[in-house]
Structure 1
Amino acid sequence: MNQIRFLRRRRLLPAALLLALSTAAVAATPATPATGRANLSALRSYDQYDRFIVTYRPGSSERGHPAAVLQHLGVAAARAFAGTPGVVAARQVPPGISYLRHLGNGAELVRTSRKLGAGDAATLMRQIAADPAVAHVEPDLLLHAVRDTRAPARTKAAPMDAATPDDPYYGEYQWDFFNAVSGVHLPETRTDFPGADGHGITVAVIDTGITAHEDLDTSLAADGYDFISDKMISGRASDGRVAGGWDTGDWTDQEPWQSACTDAAHPPEQSTWHGTNVAGVIGELTDNGLGMAGMAPAVHVLPVRALGHCGGYTSDIADAIEWASGGHVAGVPDNTHPAQVINLSLGGPGSCSGDDVTAKAIADAIGRGTTVVVAAGNDGADSANYTPASCPGVVTVAATGITGKRAFYSNYGATVTLGAPGGGIYQNDASSGQQAIPDGFIWAALNAGTTTPVAVQDGGSVYAGMAGTSQATPHVSATVAMMLSAAGDATPASRPTPAQIKALLASSARPFPVTPDRPIGAGMLDAHAAVAAALGVALPPTYTTLARGQLLSGQQGAAGQSIVYALDVPAGAANLSVRSLGGTGDVTLYVKAGDVPALDGSDADYTSARAGNAEAVLVPRPQAATYYIRLVAVKDFAGLSILGNYTGP
């Protein structure tokens, strides 16, 4: 298996024509600059850097003025490199600086005339940051789609089962929608909230773009935009951005990209069609008797291309976020379909500070009312060290498998909001072994092409299984669209804000069926509960009925999980007893007549909270009512039995 990870950019792209700056009148001894305004967290010793993003303070002479920027940076470069002890003579010559463009959120993008190692890049950035006019400086990183593990191709047409909708592959393949343990409870959502289909909502998928597909609505593809400004990344003949969100391919198994972006650890690959697959999870056409279903089939997907051959630059992605959410970017026509949701299944190394251009673009988007949903990453590491997964305000999504376990590849940590189905790849969501087909993957639309896309009429519309946080993320983006469409029907003027959406997703998440080995947020995505929460609707309790005097065995759950039982007690009954016994772990019992006790037991009529599993509640003279028993797991428990009994009629 070739597990996909963030690619490491070992060879930089060829630099454009650069402007050498005079270093006259510059002190030979470099100053000792401040470092607080320079984000060095993404610099890696094995990498090289030649693009930097500098944000000047409002009102400074440099902000928005290329000549002033070049003058300042030329001085900073000379101070950074002149007279550096212990270096070869060639490195004592400061690099030239060329001005590339002014970003949509006010920063300046520049390029050095030669590639710098991590140490030299840090030295230059610190020197730039020493100027009080500079608010922030960071490298222009080459980020990548959170490229996921792809399942082997399948050609067998999956038979239809009793599940709805009528899309023929739904029942066999799309466990992530309906599986009782690990799915997002989509069938219940469709039944109880038919308006929660994403209608009237635009989701921008900032990714590789989209391809034509017979099971996708690509009506907004021409209205999208290609934000890739570097011809090497875009694959076009010249630098510059173009209209349309179409994916023209991102293959790296041919020159010049094979030399520019691959190595032994990251072999060449064919085009991924990553954006098409993500768009399919969100809004694949549904109930059309074709292929697979989407979570929010009435949503408008706006494809925005920011990733191409070798990935995509931070500067382009930040501009894409600004534009997609309704902001203005110089040189690009304003977006006529501003998105209420942005899906970012992309990332790379480096912690995201609030001053980074990506964080500022996200803050601008949130300020416009756009919820930004981001993949945690596929490196099995703390997402606090990845961007944009650690940016303030985003909804960061980890991946779970069909058993509800954290997928072994999924990033984790305090910056994760919740988990969602991403596929566990192997049987029982293990970290190795035999692949689980189809239940180890998330299935959605793809293109049949290996480099450029294959047209629909030539058989280009295919489906594929992918596993990764890239696939978990669109489940959440679609759920946000469902929440907004349902809330808009109910009270159009009071749709939840992005901050409220994030809180509702967390509070409505259901407990993990298996305790995660690493923290991955508040729980598992529950689309049914999330839509209900957005509407302020209290869902009826889900419970298991206990039969008088009959032991219910084999109960198990994870710490924090809650299970509700109900026992009908008639008039004239006496000596009601509710007991839990056997097994391992630690549980607490809350009992209440006529209603389900709160999760914390604050409104329970009776409580049993001993250490271990041997809990008991005794009611000598019970009233005639249905008694609800909430079992809360203090620790993981298994092999537990529960018994409800009474004397009398």
Structure 2
Amino acid sequence: MNRKSFKPHALAAALIVAMAPMGAAVAADGARIVNKAAVESGAEFSGFIVKFRDGTAQRANAAMVARSLQGANAVMAKSSRGAAGLRHFRRMSLGADVIRASRALSSAEAVQAMQQLAAMPGVEYVEPDLIMHPALTPNDTRYNEQWGFFDADAGIRANTAWDVATGTGIIVAVLDTGQATHSDITGNLVAGYDFITSTTVSGDGNGRDSDPSDPGDFSGGQNSSWHGTHVAGTVAARTNNGAGVAGTAFNAKVMPVRVLGRGGGSTSDIADAIIWASGGTVSGVPTLSASQKAHVINMSLGGSGSCGTTTQNAINGAVSRGTTVVVAAGNSNANASGFTPASCANVINVASVTSASARSSFSNYGTLIDVSAPGSSILSTLNAGTTTPGAESYASYSGTSMASPHVAGTVALVQSRRLALGLPLYTPAEVESLLKTTAYALAGACSGGCGAGIIDAKRAVDAAGGGGGGGGTPPTTQTYANEADFAIRDNTTINSPITVSGRSGNAPSTASVSVDILHTYRGDLLVQLVAPDGSLYTISNRAGGSADNLIGTYTINLSSELLNGTWNLRVNDNARGDTGTLRRWTITF
């Protein structure tokens, strides 16, 4: 049995109006339908604002508005959910009229109502009477130190997502060192389990039991890390409680599952924990009910080597039961393909970025990275004990261990949004696709590859709302590759083609291009992506000086380009004396 050792990768509310874009459709008679996108976002609506043109009978006499509504009501009465009568509620000081429905309307019904209102003679415009909410700025005393939530070009933008979703109803299992008592997280815990079988590793005098508390993982002269407590705080620390820090999904619940102790943790224990937390059966351990199992598993842990069969089978089982598995890429400044579980399939593999929006120097990288998140100097809950538990505290840690819970928490936000709207929860594959398609590009460097970019919690949560009545299914991303070797000779230009077919629409703003070029003096090279219409997107313009090779992943805004057609990677050698090879390139959109 594989006993590989795994280790931790070490409201004061102000009223802010946040509205959807003001794009307006136009009815046949010229009436504008304003903010239709907001109605299509998946929420329910019951009020509308209608403005009649000057000179109309309705504009002169509010009583005429009620008569005009009869035609619209005749159409709305055909709804499968029962009659939804529209009535005149009041006239505004601006001269527009507020129209109310007799009950809350679904997104589709609200769009239909706006179309009927816009079709009434004399209407100038119709818009939803949107409900505004205070934008949450947590009053946690150290929130201003948590750059990972709000930094403009490196944060996950959770502060804007919290007005839409907070994680309610979602459980995140943290497979780690267990949980130390901390007032800023205790209220957000559900029952977990201690899966460590070795009493030497467990340090608590026994093997597996229902107590996932962290007795301290000090070993070999190293102090206890309280790693699991730090990770749990990033996922779901209590927020807006006037103390400490905020959590990514602060109304979600954390399930502490202890798998790491003194000296690390074994593959066999971790695999059992993955199975159990996702609702599977483990001999000798009570099986969780459907309502108790975790929707998300976070594993901020890893070891060297490729993904083993035991770990992969456990992950596959969890995914088949609907649990999304998020893992840390590792902290060796190396390709993630050489580490596990970062190299496992069916996981969301997370690299770390700094507050400067660049890859953290320690973070693993490569084509197996899915997304990136803040992981340098991340403040969260901790314990002051050097060996055994002491007083609760807070501290900043750095590592992909800190990046991963930002992503796990964002998954909780997304799924809680689905839950609140009565929409089916996303499958793990859909979650991964959503995070990738809503991520944004790093502002700084990411040598080696940082996946689709930094996750954007607000965009992901908005997309989860089911806009357009389509259920909110994330667009499917695909990776296309050309793995043929192309020789790069002195003062020549090569083109390596990839043909895309069977897709529709335009490429996204977060398309990902990975290149693998061996070439001494990479400063000789101009590397460009050539779109099917001939448009050029520069990847590297004779940069890097005398450094060798160009290997990395780059995020490019291709939203003006059609997906289908032949794409080329163009490499121009512009100096004498050095040659090389384009070994492989991929494009993901």
Superposition TM-score tier, normalisation by shorter sequence: 0.5 to 0.7
Q: Deviations over 1:330-359 (max 9, x none)?
A: 011123520000000001011115xx1111
User: Post-superposition shift, 1:145?
Assistant: 1.1
Query: For residues 472 and 598 of structure 1, what CA distance do their matches in structure 2 show?
Result: 27
Q: Is 1:224 the counterpart of 2:192 in the alignment?
A: yes
Query: For residues 489 and 598 of structure 1, what CA distance do their matches in structure 2 show?
Result: 33
Q: Deviations over 1:432-477 (max 9, x none)?
A: xxxxxxxxx00000011111112xxxxx221100011000000000
Query: For residues 176 and 448 of structure 1, what CA distance do their matches in structure 2 show?
Result: 23
Aligned partner of 1:542 in structure 2 is none
CA contact (8 A) 2:382 2:395 kept: yes
Aligned partner of 2:47 in structure 1 is none
**SS of 1:464's equivalent?**
strand
Q: Deviations over 1:375-426 (max 9, x none)?
A: 0000001111101011110000000001110001000111110110001xxx
Aligned partner of 2:148 in structure 1 is 176
Q: Is 1:298 the counterpart of 2:251 in the alignment?
A: yes
Aligned partner of 2:216 in structure 1 is 249
**SS of 1:143's equivalent?**
strand
Query: For residues 562 and 9 of structure 2, what CA distance do their matches in structure 1 show?
Result: 43
**SS of 1:397's equivalent?**
strand
Aligned partner of 1:340 in structure 2 is 295
Aligned partner of 2:420 in structure 1 is 489
Letter in 1 for 2:397: M
Q: Is 1:312 the counterpart of 2:247 in the alignment?
A: no
CA contact (8 A) 1:160 1:169 kept: no
Aligned partner of 2:64 in structure 1 is none
TM-score, structure 1 length as denominator?
0.53
Letter in 1 for 2:208: R
Alignment of 1:173-572 (within 5 A): 173-191=145-163, 193=164, 196-218=165-187, 220=189, 223-238=191-206, 240-252=207-219, 258=220, 268-336=221-289, 337-353=292-308, 356-423=309-376, 441-454=377-390, 460-492=391-423, 494-537=424-467
Aligned partner of 1:86 in structure 2 is none
Aligned partner of 1:265 in structure 2 is none
Q: Deviations over 1:21-63 (max 9, x none)?
A: xxxxxxxxxxxxxxxxxxxxxxxxxxxxxxxx2xxxxxxxxxx
TM-score, structure 2 length as denominator?
0.59
Aligned partner of 1:165 in structure 2 is 138
CA contact (8 A) 1:226 1:243 kept: yes
Letter in 2 for 1:350: G
CA contact (8 A) 1:422 1:442 kept: yes
CA contact (8 A) 1:212 1:218 kept: no
CA contact (8 A) 1:178 1:184 kept: yes
User: Post-superposition shift, 1:163?
Assistant: 8.4
Label 1:530 to 1:140 Cα distance change in 2 as closer, same or farther (>3 A).
same
Aligned partner of 2:120 in structure 1 is none
Alignment of 1:5-16 (within 5 A): none
Runs of 4+ aligned structure 1 residues displaced above 4 Å come to 159-163, 557-561
Aligned partner of 1:145 in structure 2 is 8
Letter in 2 for 1:392: A
Q: Deviations over 1:490-534 (max 9, x none)?
A: 134x21100000111111111111241111101111111111222
User: Post-superposition shift, 1:602?
Assistant: 4.2
Alignment of 1:588-627 (within 5 A): 599-602=559-562
Label 1:285 to 1:220 Cα distance change in 2 as closer, same or farther (>3 A).
closer
CA contact (8 A) 1:511 1:560 kept: no
Query: For residues 412 and 394 of structure 1, what CA distance do their matches in structure 2 show?
Result: 15
Letter in 1 for 2:214: D
Question: Structure 1 regions of 5+ residues with no counterpart?
Answer: 1-52, 54-138, 148-158, 253-257, 259-267, 424-440, 455-459, 540-556, 562-583, 587-596, 604-610, 612-649
Query: For residues 219 and 251 of structure 1, what CA distance do their matches in structure 2 show?
Result: 26
Aligned partner of 1:576 in structure 2 is none
Letter in 1 for 2:433: A
Letter in 2 for 1:470: S
Letter in 2 for 1:142: S
Query: For residues 558 and 212 of structure 2, what CA distance do their matches in structure 1 show?
Result: 48
Question: Structure 2 regions of 5+ residues with no counterpart?
Answer: 15-134, 473-508, 514-539, 543-556, 564-570, 572-589
User: Post-superposition shift, 1:190?
Assistant: 1.9
Letter in 2 for 1:164: T
